[in-house]
Amino acid sequence: MANPSILILAGDGIGPEVMAEVKKIIGWYDAKRGITFDVSEDLVGGCAYDKHGTPLHDDTMAKAQDVDCVLLGAVGGPKYDSLDFSVKPERGLLRLRKEMDLYSNLRPAQCFDALADFSSLKKEVVAGLDIVIVRELTSGVYFGEPRGIFTEGNERVGINTQRYTESEIARVARSAFELARRRNNKVCSMEKANVMESGILWRQVVQEIHDKEYPDVELSHMYADAGAMQLCRWPKQFDVIVTDNLFGDLLSDAAAMLTGSLGMLPSASLGAPMANGRPKALYEPVHGSAPDIAGQGKANPIACILSFAMALRYSFDLGEEATRLEQAVEKVLADGVRTADLMGPEGGVPVSTSAMGDAIIAALDASL
């Protein structure tokens, strides 16, 4: 049988620096666990524009459709800010998400005990937090028609349309229920059914999919504004939250910040199952290309490494190996190893990107 395949698109800025640490870890799995991935690499974002005049070449797009999953670093940078909108680095990422039809965006908010002091909330509220927000990614108000700025009478009017079909809601609901079954079996669906018809349909469809296909999973519904309050008040009440594109954008950013640094946050974007039964998938850190620290060996590679852990779990059914990697990260943090972004007021000497990767590999070695 062919080895599982990964396309690495490291991108711009700190993307290649943090991805270099993931490549070391992929090498570790090959050497120490006998798990071999067929890894190919290509360009996305500004570096692809520099070479091909487009942020994502058609050949790269075709490769992305052909592999078991894509691992992406980050795209963008000041050099590309004045480019036409159609060829900006971010368009490469948007094309990948759109053409792979990655409708389900998983954003975990996990608080490692060693970093609980970094949250703006009290330590007891966030220590041990482990929740996932599932955001619908390819429909809703960011895509609905009509949209635009029009003239009505003697003034302008800005219009966006929140539109969801039943099947769009059903597929992201299934994705959340499947995820909950691998976790603590609890889903909270958030919308504004009190003021939006699309919210009423959302609630009905999520409930129907639950009753027909996932009656074993505990389901609750919450208005998204109340959900935002509950996330700040007592986030540990949640396991999986499923919500639409707009509310998910807001709630996942708020939840992410419960846990501290941007350098720690992984994400997965999943689509429909492929012939092998696994979803189309793209894994990437939440952070951008961090031009202010690029090329200095200061970037925290953990978000990218935890994104690879998500790939192990969701694309390769290697949940135990994913847990091994997450525990290695936890151990390194508990031992006080910190990149510059994780330094508290007490100070200390930060380690480089590469030293953080090496420390995680040493912890993986120790796990055997």
- The residues binding ligand NAD (CB under 6 A) are 14, 18, 74-77, 90, 93, 262-263, 284, 287-293, 299-300, 303, 341
Is the Cβ of residue 137 or residue 219 nearer to ligand NAD in the bound state?
137
Is the Cβ of residue 21 or residue 168 nearer to ligand NAD in the bound state?
21
Angle, CA of 311, 313 and 317, to the nearest 5° = 110
**Two structure tokens written together for 213:** 């296909």
Is 298 annotated to bind ligand? Answer: yes
- Please, what is the minimum distance in Å from the beta carbon of residue 14 to ligand NAD? 6
Closest residue by Cα to residue 329 from 277, 367, 292, 296: 367
Is 300 annotated to bind ligand? Answer: yes
Q: Which residue has the tokens 């997450």?
A: 326
Q: Which residue has the tokens 């939250």?
A: 241
Is 244 annotated to bind ligand? Answer: no
- Please, what is the minimum distance in Å from the beta carbon of residue 285 to ligand NAD? 6
CA quadruple 194, 195, 197, 199: dihedral sign: negative
Is the Cβ of residue 227 or residue 260 nearer to ligand NAD in the bound state?
260
Residue 65 DSSP SS3: helix
Query: Among all residues, which ones are annotated catalytic?
Result: 142, 192, 225, 249, 253
**Residue 242 near residue 176, CB atoms below 8 Å:** yes
- Please, what is the minimum distance in Å from the beta carbon of residue 143 to ligand NAD? 19
Pairing of strands 279-285, 266-273: antiparallel
Contacting residues for 344 by C-beta, under 8 A, at least 6 apart: 117, 118
Q: What is the DSSP letter of 368?
A: -
Is 80 annotated to bind ligand? Answer: yes
- Please, what is the minimum distance in Å from the beta carbon of residue 290 to ligand NAD? 4
Cβ atoms within 10 A of the Cβ of 66, count? Answer: 11
d(CA 69, CA 6) in angstroms, rounded, equals 5
Cite the DSSP H helix spans in the chain. 15-33, 46-52, 58-66, 89-99, 123-126, 166-182, 197-213, 224-233, 245-257, 302-314, 319-334, 353-366
- Please, what is the minimum distance in Å from the beta carbon of residue 327 to ligand NAD? 21
Is 178 annotated to bind ligand? Answer: no
Is 198 annotated to bind ligand? Answer: no
Is the Cβ of residue 127 or residue 262 nearer to ligand NAD in the bound state?
262
Is 293 annotated to bind ligand? Answer: yes
Is the Cβ of residue 42 or residue 341 nearer to ligand NAD in the bound state?
341
Q: Which residue has the tokens 């592999």?
A: 67
Is the Cβ of residue 48 or residue 75 nearer to ligand NAD in the bound state?
75
d(CA 280, CA 125) in angstroms, rounded, equals 35
d(CA 186, CA 199) in angstroms, rounded, equals 20
- Please, what is the minimum distance in Å from the beta carbon of residue 18 to ligand NAD? 6
Q: Which residues are annotated as a binding site for NAD(+)?
A: 77-90, 288-300
Q: Which residues are annotated as a binding site?
A: 77-90, 97, 107, 135, 225, 249, 253, 288-300
Q: Which residues are annotated as a binding site for Mg(2+)?
A: 225, 249, 253
